Amino acid sequence: MRSLVLLLLCTSFVASAQSYSSNGKKYRDKFSFELAPGERVERTWFHYVVSSTNDGLWIVRTFYPETGRITSVVTYADAQLTTKSGPAKYWYDDGRLSDEGSYVENDRFGPWNELRGSGSYTKGIQDGPWVLHLSDAAQDSGSFEKGKRSGEWVRSDSLGRPLLTRHYKAGKLDGECTMYDLVKGTTKHRVYLADSLVEGVLDDDMVDERMPFLRDCEHLSTVAERLACTEMMIIAYISENLSYPKEAMKLGVSGTAWFSFTVEKDGTISKVTALNGLCRDIEEECIRVLQGMPTWVPGEQFGKAVRVQYNQPVRFTLR
């Protein structure tokens, strides 16, 4: 499988209600967890527990309701739960820790460890050194400047041997790009200026990757147009075919559900899996819709068709 997990744009569904405000005695003993010293439970519901601390902070714990497994612990500065401020942790439904760090006024700030990698944020924007985790224990390392790649980035294998080096300026390839063939012991070079090739040959072996795109976008001439078309068509497809499950809406289940799927070498979709399903009804509805997506043109890496994994968020919002 291709060594990168891609994130598609989020699709939102809105219903009328308010999150984390309900309280029910029948859910009081539903979830097992430990309170910190000075922390007390304020209210419990079908999928969450809200607590407060002696120092004026508020903590929301969310759970996958059918299994009782915890999916997040987030600290808030106010009783209205509008301002994230302090430590936060997120887990996938299978128990893997996905993200851990701190918020300042709703923005990720400082060091964060994420399933995709680790690095720092400034006001919610990636800034400074980052190490991105790829498949087969490979990694991509470099720096971000105000959310855009900057300077030298190095892709290396599980043994730390460089596979590809390139230079960026304001998020665009700018400077020398070198690919290392560890089997043949050879290298290939190209030079870019603002994402445009100015020196070297753009042959298939030197093409690091080509993203998959929907076949209905194949008529467009540029990569950027095809990818933009793909994202917009996926949003439109999900919006037209997915409904907010009534029981989940009634119980106030909201948030961002995360799913992964694989674009196979023949362009078909496989392995639609819930990472964070929020609850069973939402999970089943999202999987049903994602399994019926239109056909894709497969991705390529170094001139060969490859399987590509995508992560797709779907936001369910209660107002």
Looking at 22-36, 107-121, 156-170, 196-210, which range is the least confident one? Answer: 196-210
Rounded Cα distance between 12 and 244, Å, is: 10
How many CB atoms lie under 10 A from the CB of residue 185?
7
Segment 202-231 mean pLDDT? 81
The domain boundary, picked from 173, 206, 239, lies at 206
Segment 248-257 mean pLDDT? 92
Please report the pLDDT score of residue 207 as a whole number.
52
The domain boundary, picked from 183, 206, 229, lies at 206
Is the pLDDT at 169 greater than 60? The verdict is: yes
More confident site: 301 or 305:
305
Mean pLDDT estimate for the chain:
89
- Considering its fold, how many domains does the chain have in total? 2
Question: What does the block give as tokens for 217?
Answer: 């976008």
Do 262 and 117 fall into the same domain?
yes
Please report the pLDDT score of residue 185 as a whole number.
86
The amino acid that residue 124 corresponds to is G
Rounded Cα distance between 147 and 130, Å, is: 11
Please report the pLDDT score of residue 302 as a whole number.
67
Whole-Å CA distances, 24 to 77, 185, 248:
24, 66, 16
Do 251 and 141 fall into the same domain?
no
Q: Which residues pair with 295 in a beta bridge?
A: none
Is the pLDDT at 32 greater than 50? The verdict is: yes
Is the pLDDT at 79 greater than 80? The verdict is: yes
Please report the pLDDT score of residue 148 as a whole number.
95
Do 182 and 198 fall into the same domain?
yes
Q: Which of 278, 279, 274 is nearest to 312 (CA)?
A: 274
pTM for the full model? 0.84
